[in-house]
Each structure stands twice: as C-alpha cells, then as structure tokens.
Amino acid sequence: MPRADIDRQRDEKLLGDLVPWAYKRSGLIRETWDEAGVTPDDVTSMDDFHEKVPFIDKDAIRSYRDRHHDPYGGLLCLDPADPTMKGIFSAIFSTSGTTGDPTPAPFAGRGPSMLVREFWELGARPGDHFLHCLFTFRGPSIHDTIRGIGATPVFVDHQPGDIEQLLRFSRDFRPTGWYTLSGPLIMMIEEAAARLGIDLQDAFSSYKGVVFAGEPIGPRARARVEGWGLELFIQTSLGDVGAATECREHDGCHMWEDTAYIESLDPEGTAPVGDGIRGELVSTTLIDKVAPLLRYRSDDLVRVTREPCACGRTHGRVHTLGRKGDEIIVEGVSVLPGDVWGAVESIDETNGLFQLIRPAREVDTLRLRVGYATEGPGGLLALRARIEDAVEAAVGIRPHVDLVEREVLLRQGPPHKIPRVTEA
C-alpha cells in the first residue's frame, strides 16, 4: 500500500472515527482530555492531534481503575449489559502480569486477527497443521487466526511439562507454523531432546516459520534454534495496541499502520525523534473500539523507521531496545538489559538467565543476578569472573554479579519469560 494511502486511511479512521468515539464513551479519555481543555472538535488534523491530544500511560489507567473501582481503567467503550453487544463483547483477557497485577483486557468478537498476515508470511497455508503453543489468558484470537488462514491448530501448553508432547506432535502432525517459542522454552526443549535422544532437526523439519515472543532473544540462543533448522520471526508488543512481527528480511518488526498509529517521541519530552533514532513508542489504535488507547506512552524504547523494507512492504518497522523504566545509569552510562544480554548468554552455564538489580535509575554499581545451570570447570568463583569479564567487555563497566541457581530465576516469571529488571 502506498504511503499516501496509509496516511489517508489513518486520518479517516483516527480523526473521523476513533477520536470522537473514544471521547464520548471512554471515561479515562474524556477525563484526560477535559483536564487538558481539549475536545474532538479541536482535533481536525494530524497537526492538531500532535499538538493538542494529551498522553495517557499505564499509571493513568491504574489510577482511574482505583479511583472509580473500574477494572477496565476507564477504557471500556461498550456497555456489557447492552443487548446489542451480546455476542460481540464476549470475554475479558489479561496481560501477562510479569511486573504486577494482570490488567483486564476486554475482548470483542470472534474471528481471525491481523496476525493472518504474519502466519502467511511464516509460510503456513490452507490445509496445514499449525502448532498453537501458548496460554489460555490470551483468549481465542490465535486459534481463530490459525483457522483464518485455513490451517488446523494443534494445541500444546507453553509449559515445561508439555515439552514431550510438543516434540511428539511436531513429528506426528508435521505443522508448518508455530506460535510461539520463548527463551525458557528453548532451554527446556534442548534438555528434553537430550534426555529423550531426539534429533531436533528431524523433529522440527516440517516448520517453515516460528514466531518468537515474550522477551528479546540473544544471538547465541537464536543461533542454537536456527541450528535446529527453524527460521525465527521475532514479535514484539506494539504499545498494547497490537503486535509487530519480523518479515523474512528479519530487519525490524513490521507495524501494521492500517491498524495503529505509532509515534516515536523524546523519552523525556514530547518532541518527535527522527527516523531510526531512539525514542519512546507512543501508540494509538486505529481499530479497537472496545477499549481504545489514544497517545499511550508505552515506556518502550525503540527505533522506528518508515524506510521501505526490502520485502516490499511500505508499513514501518520497529526495533525494540528496552523499557524506559528499566534503564540504569552507571557512571553516566545507560545500561539496558539488551546491552548485557549477549555477554551473559555467551557464558554457557547461564543460558542467558539474568536480572539487572535496579534500586534506582542512577546507581554507583552495576549489579546483576545471574542464574546458572552448572558451576562450570572452575567452580562458582571462576564462573562469576567470566561473566563479569564478558559484561565489562560489552558495556565498559565492571559489574558485581550475584550467582543463583537458575530455578530461582525461572520461578519468578511466567513460563515464557522472567522479569529482567528487579528492585532488589
């Protein structure tokens, strides 16, 4: 789709539809706009939108929820008791809750989501089997999307206890697509295959593409999975208004700009940053009329580019760098989990399991808690020294490393990720 058409669609959906809809029905949007002295009549162009529309963020949603005893944080635009909504507003799902209370997410409708584009890009086709490896709290959307491309879901739990079935169903049903794989799952698959004597290249030979999601993947883990013959398509959240997924060029995750308007702004201010420059992702839905987010400051640090992709798509791409709230300043140097990820996982004994200790944004010492599977040849002291050397080489700061058995860290997260930053 030509850029001019993308922009025209955005203007029509946003200014002509979403803005007045959300202002009229969303308690949070109306309260925020009223405090800013803005009404939909004031927003007739994208310049107006950028200049006048106030931001919302997760704290604003939680505050509204607590002040109004509204589990939807003032975002719900539909009345569940409205008879015309029966069969449309059907369920309430929730965020992963990695960093706190899971946030309820109202869900409307049934049918395939825009992920049909991603599943097609993976190479899955009508008549194929497709491995659906996830959780229940995300709702039926993925299932409907798999059927939406004419494929058949094969259900597997994203849990350590179901790895043997994942391997078995992969061999028996020969799926072509897989949603999703995660860092902890990679570790568990590797161990199960070794224990059971399974050749993973053979077991996974039917897959044409696998979506990796939940948290970033380090270069070592990626190489290991590619050694199994799997092509990974990284997926990242798009500021809670959708997801962005890599294409076959693997040069950033495509954000579908007919579904969301994405801004990249100065993380400490409101000015837009240039194409490819680090900024904070600010998201606005173009399609969600159930619980629409408008100018939602996601806390995600990203690089956004709207340069055309080699794959031919004109929709922009996002490279996720980390979360603003995760940034640590040590000796004037910014450190994010992604900056030390490759260094930690380069030490075999760690499997890349680590946390940054962040009691405050600015600290005197970079502290890491690192999980280990084995002590390695020289014992724990030598292991700690190797990790500290690797991290120092990566970020220029010598860290203090606390070693813990890896299960200590794995227990802290859902099965697909662990909290990478912790206060203590």
Tokens describing residue 345: 């996982």
Cβ proximity to other proteins: between 97 and 274 the closer is: 97
In whole angstroms, give the CA distance from residue 144 to residue 139.
Answer: 10
In whole angstroms, give the CA distance from residue 293 to residue 412.
Answer: 29
Q: Is 16 in the site for other proteins (CB under 8 A)?
A: no
Q: Shortest gap between Cβ of 412 and other proteins (angstroms)? A: 9
Task: Report the site for other proteins in 362-401 (rule: CB under 8 A).
Answer: none
Q: Are 359 and 367 in contact (CB under 8 A)?
A: no
Task: Report the site for other proteins in 265-284 (rule: CB under 8 A).
Answer: none
Which residue, among 264, 263, 246, 260, has the nearest Cα to 317 in the 3D structure?
246
Cβ proximity to other proteins: between 74 and 413 the closer is: 413
Residue 310: burial class (beta carbons within 10 Å; 0-12, 13-18, 19+): exposed
Residues 6+ apart with CB under 8 A from 89: 78, 80, 106, 107, 108, 290
Tokens describing residue 100: 């706190």
Q: Which of 177, 242, 371, 399 binds other proteins (CB under 8 A)?
A: 242
Task: Report the site for other proteins in 146-165 (rule: CB under 8 A).
Answer: 147-159, 162, 165
**Could you tell me how far CA 390 lies from the centroid of its own chain?**
27
Look up tokens 């939940």; give the residue: 214
Q: Which of 53, 115, 343, 366 binds other proteins (CB under 8 A)?
A: 115
Cis amide linkage into residue 39, ω under 30° from 0: no
Cβ proximity to other proteins: between 103 and 346 the closer is: 103
Candidate ranges 50-58, 129-137, 188-196, 300-308; the one touching other proteins (CB under 8 A): 129-137
Q: Angle formed by the axes of helices 27-36 and 58-68, to 10°? A: 110
Q: Is 243 in the site for other proteins (CB under 8 A)?
A: yes
> How many binding residues for other proteins (CB under 8 A)?
66
Task: Report the site for other proteins in 27-86 (rule: CB under 8 A).
Answer: 71, 80-81, 86
Report the interface residues with other proteins, using CB under 8 A. 71, 80-81, 86-87, 89-94, 97, 101-102, 104, 109, 111-117, 126-127, 129, 132-137, 139-141, 143-145, 147-159, 162, 165, 169, 172-173, 241-243, 259, 287-288, 411, 413-415
